[in-house]
Structure 1
Amino acid sequence: MTTFEAPSIVWSALLPTLVVAGAAVAGVLVEAFVPRGPRRVVQLVLGLLAASLALVAVVWRWTEVSSSGPQHVIGSSVVEDGPALAAQAVLALLGFVGLLVIADRTESGEGAFVAQAAARPGSTAEADATRAGLAQTEVYPLTLFALSGMFVFAQANDLLTLFIALEVLSLPLYVLCGLARRRRLLSQEASLKYFLLGAFASAFMIFGIALLYGYSGSITFSGLSEAVPTTVGMDYLLLGGAVLVIAGLLFKVGAVPFHSWTPDVYTGAPTPVTGFMAAATKLAALVALVRFVYVALPDLSWDLTPFFWAVAALTMLVGTVVGIVQSDVKRMLAYSSIAHAGFLLVGVVAYEQAAVSGVLFYLLAYGLATVGAFALVTLVRERDPDGNVTGEANHIAQWAGLGRRSPIAAVGMTVFLLSFAGIPLTAGFVGKFSVFSAAVAGGQTVLVVLAVLASAATAFFYVRLVVLMFFTEPDGDTVVVVSSEGLTTVGVTVCLAGTVLLGVLPGPLLELAGQAATFLP
C-alpha cells in the first residue's frame, strides 16, 4: 500500500502571491457586503495596497534568495528563483499602474466600463443603469485574480501547475474584455473570440502535457529534463508534446501563427484592460516559456531552434508589415505588440543566460511603454457637433494636431512610441540592445539582422503618428483630450519616468536582471 506524502510548503516564499490572491478574495467580499457608494474607493484602495505590499514582499524575498539561494516552494511544483521574483516585481508594478488607469474617470464621471454587464447592449436596462450611475466594481477583484495567476505562472515548475496558472490568469481576462462602456457589441465579440481561441490554446497545452507525461512518466520540469537525454533517435511523443505546450504559451505571448486574437481583442476590450493585458500577460507568458524551454527541455534545444527561428521570423514579419497599414491606433499598437513578441523570441532562441536578463529588462521597458500608451489613448476623445464628448478617437487621422491641443499628452505619447521603436535614451533601446547582443553571442546573427530590419520598419508607423501629432494641421475641432480624476496622469507619469530613467541610467537594473537570470533546475 502506497502512502501519500504531503509536499513541504515554504509559506514565506508564497507571500507575494498570497497577498494578491487574498486581496482578490477580499474584493469579492467587498462586492457582497460594502454599500454601493463607497465600494469603488474601497476596491481601488484594496487593489493598490495589494500591489504595493506584493512588491515589498518580492523585494524581501529577493534579499532572502540572494543570501540563501533559490528554493522549491511547494514540493517541486513551484520555485522561488531570480526570474520568478523579477517577473513578480514587474507584474506588481504593472498591476499598480494598471489599476490606476482602470479606476480613472473623466471629468464627466464616465469610466471605461459598462454600468451593468448583464444588460443587453442598447436595452432599456442598460440605459437605466447608466443614468443611475452604477459602477462595475467587479473589475478590481477580477484584475487581482488575473494578477495572482500571473504570479504563479512565472514560477510554475511542473506541467499541471503551469496549466492551472494559465487558466487562473485567463478566465478573469475573458470577462474583463467584454465590459467596455462604449461599442458594447465589439467588446463582447472580443471577449468571445478571446475565450474560444483561448480554449483551443488550453486544449493544445493539456494534450501536450499528456504526451509529455506519457513520454517521461513525470509532470515536473526536472523529471522531464532527466528523461530527455535517454531518448534514442526521434521520439514523436516528446517533440509533439513539447511543441503543443509551447504553442499554448505562444498564444499568450501573441506570436504568429497564434496571434489572430490579438488585434480584435486589443481593439474591442476596454482600453485600460488592453494596456494591462498587453503588458502583464506577455511578461508572465514569456517568463513561463523561457523556464519551460531552459529548465525542462535544455537537451532539446537543437530540435526546437528551427521551430523558434521560424516563429520569431514570422512574428516580426507579420507584426511589422500588417502594422504599417493600420489606420486604428489600438490595432496599430496590437500589431506592434506582435512585432515585439518576435523581438523577445529572438532572446529565447539564443539559449544564453545573458539573453534571459535581456528579456527581463525588455519586458519591463515594453510593459511601461504599453500601459502608458494605452492610458493616453483613453484620454483622446471624439466630440460631436453639439460639443458633447463621446468615445475614444482611435482613428490615426484624428490624432492630427494633438501636439497643439495637448502638448503634454502628445509629448508623453511620443516618448512611448520612441521607446517602442528602440530609439536611444529610452528603455526600449536598452532592452532591444540587450536581447539582440545576447542573441548574437548565442550564434543567431542572421535572426538578429532580420530583427534589426523589422525594428527599423516598425519605426515607420510610430514616426507617422508623431508626425501627425506635431506637424499636421488638425481637421476641425472634433477631437479633445479630456481631463480626468488624475489617476491616469499618475500612471502615465510613472511610466514616463521609468521609460526615460531606464533609458538614461540602465546600469543598476541591468545588473539586477543579470543576477536574476539563473533558473532553479
Structure 2
Amino acid sequence: MIDKLSWVAAYPEILLLTMACVIALVDLAVKTPLRGVSYGLTLLTLGVIALLQGLAASTGETIYGFGGMIVSDPMGNWLKCFASIAMMVTFVYGRSYSGQRDMLRGGELFTLGMFALLGMFVMISSHHFLVIYLGLELLTLSSYALVALRRDDLKATEAAMKYFVLGALASGFLLYGLSMVYGATGSLNLTEVMLAIASGGDKLVGSPQVLMLGLVFVVAGLAFKLGVVPFHMWVPDVYHGAPTAITLMIGGAPKLAAFAIVIRLLAEGLQPLAVDWQQMLAVLAVMSLLVGNLAAIAQSNLKRMLAFSTIAQMGFMLLGLLAGVVQGDASNMANAYGSSMFYVVTYVLTTLGTFGVILLLSRSGFESDNINDLAGLNQRSPFYAGIMAICMFSLAGVPPLVGFYAKLAVLQALLASSTAFYVGLAVFAVVMSLIGAFYYLRVVKIMYFDAPTQTGGIDAGLDARSVLSINGALVLVLGIVPGGLMTLCAQAVAQMFA
C-alpha cells in the first residue's frame, strides 16, 4: 500500500505526465499550423506546476516517498519551479520559429518537451540510483527525438546521431559506476550509501578499490551531462546542428537537472569521498575554463560560440562545488553549493534571453546563427540589440548584471576556504573570465558599430516580445538586487543537509 506522503511527494510528476498525455490526445484534433490550443494548454500546465512547486518550496518541508526513493525538498522544488518556467519561456520563444520550419505539424514538440521536463523532474526528485537513471534516460531519449525533429534537415539528423551515440556511451559510464558503488555499499539509497561509506569500511560489502573505480565512472557520466571537458565533444555539434528552438531546450532547463543530480549523487550520497571527487572536479573545471574560452574565440557561428561558452560556464559552476568540504570541514557546504545553484539558475536565465533574441531574429529560410548576422542590429532594432547586449555583458561577468554576482558568489566560496590551492583556482578563473569577455564583447561591437547586413523587418508576436522584455529586465534587476535569490539558494541547500 502506497502511503499518502508518497503521492504528495510525486504529485508534480504525476500531474505533468497526465497533462502531457492529455495534450498529445487533444493535439490530434488541432488543425491550425501554430497549434494554438496545444500551445495554450502546455503553457497553462507549466505555469500551474511552477506555481505549485514555488508554494511547496516556500514551506521548507522535506518529504520522502516510495520507500525513500524520491524526495520533495526546498532545493528540488525550487529547481523544478525554475525548470518549468524555463521550459515555458522556451516554448514562447520557439513557437514561431518551429512553425515556420514545419516542426509543429504533429504537435510532437510540446509533448516531447513535456516528457523531457518530466525526466528533469524525476532526476531532481531522485534519492535512489534507479530513479536517477530512470529520469536521466527519459530526458535523454526525449532530447534525441527533439534534435531530430526536422526530419528533412541533414544537419539536425547528424547532430541527433552524434548525440545519441555519445549519450549512450555516457549513460553506460554512469550506470557502470552506480553498479560498482552498489556492489561496494550494498545499497541503492543515497542515505544508506553515504552511511556505509562514512562507516570507514565497517559497513562496506565490497572492496574500497571497487568503490573508488565506481566513483570515477560516476563523475565521468555526470561530466558528460554537464558538457565539461573532456566530455564536451557533443556540445558544439548538437548546439550547431539542432534547430535553434531545440538548442535552447537542451541548453536551458536541463542544466538545472544536471546540477541537481550532481548535488544528490556527489554532495549527498558520496559526501565522505568529497576529497576524491573534488580533485576530479577541479581538473574538469580548469580544463573546461581553458578549452571553452579559448575555443569560443575562434568561432564565427553564434551557436557554436555559445556552445563553447556553455562549457566554460559549467566549468565555473563546478568551482563552487569544490569548496563545500575543505580538509574534512563541511561547514562551508551551504555557502559553496548555494553559490553554484545561484550560478546555474542565473546562467539559464541569461541563456534564455540570448537564444530568445536569436530565435526572434530568425525567419523562414534564415537562421540568424552567424555572429555577422547581428551586424548593425542596433540600427534595425534597438530593443533586440539592448537585450542581447545585456545578456552578453552578463555572461562576461560585467557589473551590475546578474552574471557578475554569480561569478562573485563562486569566487567568494573558493576564497572562504582560505587554502592556497583554492585561492589559485579563483585567480585562474578570473583570468579565464577576462579572456572570455573578448568574444562576448565582440558580439556587442558587431551589433552597435558594424554596418547592417540584413535589411528585412523583425516580426515577433506580443507574447514573445513581452517575455523577452521581462527576461532582459530580470538579468538587470537580479544583478542590482541579487540578495533575495542568493539567500533562497543558500537556504534551500542548507535545508537539504539539515
Following superposition, the deviation at residue 138 of structure 1 comes to 1.1
What residue number does 1:45 align with? 40
* Aligned residue identity for 2:162: K
Task: Tell me by how many angstroms 1:520 deviates.
Answer: 4.9
How far residue 241 of structure 1 moved from its aligned partner, in angstroms, is: 1.1
2:289 match: 316
How far is 1:114 from its partner?
Answer: 3.4
Counterpart position of 1:212: 181
- The letter for the 2-side match of 1:28 is A
Task: Write the distance in 1 (CA, Å) between the matches of 2:345 and 2:351.
Answer: 10
Structure 1 residues 77 and 271, CA gap change in structure 2 (3 angstroms): same
- Deviation of residue 313 (structure 1)? 0.3
User: Is this contact kept in 1: 2:9–2:70, CA < 8 A?
Assistant: no
What is the one-letter code of the residue matched to 1:143?
Answer: G
1:487-506 paired onto structure 2 within 5 Å:
487-506=463-482
Does the alignment pair 1:91 with 2:83? yes
Matched residue SS, 1:517:
helix
Aligned partner (choices 315, 319, 340) of residue 346 of structure 1: 319
Cα distance, 1:339 vs. partner? 0.5
The TM-score normalised by the length of structure 2 is: 0.92
Deviation at 1:6, TM superposition (A): 5.8
Q: How far apart, in 2, do the equivalents of 1:40 and 1:13 lie?
A: 32
SS in 1 for 2:64: strand
What is the SS of the residue equivalent to 1:10?
A: helix
- Mapped to 2, the partners of 1:357 and 1:154 lie a distance apart of 16
| 1:6-42 CA distance string (max 9 Å, x none) | 677432232322222222111221234x242388112
AA paired with 1:146?
A: A
Question: What letter is aligned with 1:337?
Answer: T
Q: Distance in 1 between matches of 2:188 and 2:457?
A: 52
Map of 2:143 onto structure 1: 173
Q: CA deviation at 1:111?
A: 2.4
Shift of 1:479: 5.3
Q: Does the Cα contact within 8 Å between 1:114 and 1:136 map onto a contact in 2? A: no
Q: Does 1:55 align with 2:36?
A: no
More RCO (CA 8 Å, sep 6+) = 1
Q: Deviations over 1:301-327 (max 9, x none)?
A: 112222111011001111101001101
Matched length: 482
- Cα 1:364/1:112, change in 2 over 3 Å: farther
Cα RMSD (Å): 2.1
Q: What are the within-5 Å matches in structure 2 for residues 409-424 of structure 1?
A: 409-424=384-399
Contact 2:87 / 2:249 at 8 angstroms: preserved in 1? yes
* Cα distance in 1 for residues equivalent to 2:266 and 2:82: 21
Match of 1:334 among 283, 307, 311: 307
Structure 1 CA distance for aligned equivalents of residues 471 and 32 of structure 2: 31
Q: Who is 2:329 aligned against?
A: none
Which residue of structure 1 aligns with residue 277 of structure 2?
304
Select the residue among 26, 29, 49 that pairs with 1:30.
26
Name 1:16's counterpart in structure 2. Answer: 12
- 1:401-440 equivalences under 5 Å are 401-440=376-415
Residue 211 of structure 2, aligned match among 238, 256, 261? 238
Unaligned runs of 5+ in 1: 116-133, 383-388
| Structural mapping, 1:73-472, within 5 Å | 73-105=65-97, 111=99, 113-115=101-103, 135-180=105-150, 184-231=153-200, 235-351=208-324, 352-381=333-362, 390-442=365-417, 443=419, 444-472=422-450
CA contact (8 A) 1:381 1:480 kept: no
Query: CA offset at residue 484 of structure 1?
Result: 2.5
What residue in structure 1 maps to residue 330 of structure 2? none
Letter paired with 1:78: I
Displacement after TM superposition at 1:242 (Å)? 1.6
Letter in 1 for 2:118: S
The SS at the match of 1:218 is coil
For the 8 Å contact 1:190–1:268, the answer to whether it is kept is yes
**Alignment check: 8 A CA contact 2:166 2:234 kept:** yes
Please tell me whether the aligned partners of residues 5 and 63 of structure 2 are also in contact (alpha carbons under 8 angstroms): no
Asked if structure 2 preserves the Cα contact closer than 8 Å seen for 1:7 and 1:75, the reply is no
Distance in 1 of aligned mates of 2:275 and 2:379: 54
8 A contact 1:112–1:180 mirrored in 2? no
Q: 2-side partners of 1:56 and 1:275: how far apart? A: 22
SS at structure 2 position matched to 1:111: helix
Whole-angstrom distance in 2 between the partners of 1:257 and 1:6 = 43
Give me the whole-angstrom Cα distance separating, in 2, the residues matched to 1:491 and 1:171.
29
Residues in 1 aligned to 2:74 and 2:287: alpha-carbon distance in whole angstroms: 30
How far 1:113 sits from its partner (Å)?
4.0
Residues 280 and 449 of structure 1: CA distance in aligned 2, closer, same or farther (over 3 Å) = same
| Runs of 4+ more than 3 Å apart | 5-9, 112-115, 230-234, 478-481
- Conserved? CA contact 2:353–2:391, under 8 Å: yes
Q: Which runs of 5+ in 2 are unaligned?
A: 325-332
Please list the CA deviations of residues 436-495 of structure 1 after superposition, one character each: whole Å capped at 9, or x if unmatched. 2112213422211111111111110000110111112234xx454530233332331221
Alpha-carbon separation, structure 2, partners of 1:141 and 1:46: 11
Please, what TM-score do these two structures have when normalized by structure 1? 0.88
* Distance across 1 between alignment mates of 2:128 and 2:457: 47
8 Å Cα contact 1:212/1:238 also seen in 2 = yes
Please say if residues 33 and 99 of structure 2, whose CA atoms lie closer than 8 Å, have aligned partners that are also in contact: no
Alpha-carbon contact 1:104-1:487 (below 8 Å) kept:
no
Aligned-partner residue type, residue 56 of structure 2: R
- Give the C-alpha shift of residue 163 in structure 1: 0.3
Output the CA distance in 1 between the equivalents of 2:457 and 2:120: 33
Find the aligned partners of 2:308 and 2:108 in 1 and give their Cα distance: 29
